[in-house]
Every structure is written in structure tokens, then in C-alpha cells.
Amino acid sequence: MRHRIAGNRMNMPEPRRRAARRSLMAGLIRFDRIETTTSRAQAIRGEVEKLIDTAVKGRQAAQSHLAKVVSDKEKAEQILAFARKGRFSLDAKVASNEERAAQSKAPLTDKGRKFLEQKLKDRREELLQIISNESEAKKALEAAYQSMVIELHARRKILSALPDELVVKKMFEELAPRYAGRPGGYTRSTKLGRRKGDAAEIIQIALV
């Protein structure tokens, strides 16, 4: 029975082939271009295009969700940067030692309590400097957290195929903005001739 042999096998056992594909894809995304044989370039090109498309669409979906609540692009970027610092609510208060004990947390000293209260105050002021109306600020912050969840889903989908945090970070922070609005076609190939020894055709595959 001829099972699990469809597609380009790269003439390797399956575990080694999977590792080689991931290494080639990571190298292409990290350095924008790699030189390899035609068969290996063909084996990774389609998958790289799909992963970049996932990052582009994930980022755009996250931005669209936030834009429904915060139409000002500059404010949307500021509120998202604020949300990335950690979970926060304008209703947040420092719990009393009795409440902390009920939550199995250690009691706070006066100094520790003042530190946390000042931290909450500073974050509150930072948020209200972006959006002065408290009600609108709450809605904007929740939308920002939800947009982060949308983007996180896309990140996890890519990580399942290419488990490299630095590469995925570049895809969302650099490649997704670069290819926003581009309907595919993120790579190009250029023939470089044949390799000495086995005469295998070598090409350069690069991100456009």
C-alpha cells in the first residue's frame, strides 16, 4: 500500500524530512532569502506562503476588531501597546489582607500596598491619557485584549507548523505589515545554475 508518500519527499525519511523543511522555512523567513536545490525550494514554497498568509490575515483580523471600537489609528496603536503590558481594569483595587488570605495569598506590608496602589494609579492615568472618557476607555481596552486573542490564535496555528518563536515574531511584526493588502505571491525564485559534483539545479528563493 502506498500510504503517506504524496508530494515532494526530498528523498529523506519522514522525521528527517520534516526537520529539514522546518529548517529551510525558518531560514527563509529569518534571512529573507536562501539558496537551495530546486526540489527543496518547491517543497517549502507553498507552505511558507500559507504561513505568511495566516500571519497577514490574523493581524488584519485583530486590527479590524479593534478598529470597530477605536476608529483613530494612532489611539488604537497606543491602546494595544498599553494592553500588551498586562491585564488591567479601571475598576481594579488592591485587595485587603483579609481578602488576600481568602485567596491563599500572602499579606501585604504597608510599603508593598503603597507600591501596588501607586502602580494601579500610574496605569490608570496612562490609560486615561489615551482615552479620557472612562466608559470608552474600558470598551477600548477590552477590544484590545480581544484583538490580542485573535492574533494569538493565528500565532499558535503557525507555531504548530513552525515551532520557532523568533521567526513567528518576525512574521507578525515585520512581514505582516509589509504584505498588508497583498493577495499572496510573497516569494520569488531565481535560478543560479548547477551545483558542482551532482549537477543539482540551485535556485535562490527570496521574500519579495
| Residue 159 domain boundaries | 19-207
Domain for residue 4, yes or no? no
Count: domains in the chain: 1
Q: What is the pLDDT of residues 20-65, one digit of tens each?
A: 899 999 999 999 999 998 888 988 999 999 999 999 999 999 999 9
C-alpha cell at 140: 477600548
Q: What is the pLDDT of residues 55-104, one digit of tens each?
A: 999 999 999 999 999 999 999 999 999 999 999 999 999 999 999 899 89
Domain for residue 12, yes or no? no
Of the chain, the end-to-end C-alpha distance in Å amounts to: 41
pLDDT of the residue at 11 = 72
Read off the pTM: 0.84
CATH number of the structural domain spanning residue 151 = 3.90.1030.10
The mean pLDDT value of the chain amounts to 90
pLDDT of the residue at 19 = 87
pLDDT of the residue at 199 = 84
| Rounded Cα–Cα distance for residues 115 and 66 (Å) | 32
Q: Is 165 helix (H, G, I), strand (E, B) or coil?
A: helix
Domain for residue 5, yes or no? no
Calculate the dihedral angle through the C-alpha atoms of 18, 20, 26, 31, rounding to the nearest 10 degrees. Answer: -160
| Rounded Cα–Cα distance for residues 68 and 82 (Å) | 18
Domain for residue 7, yes or no? no
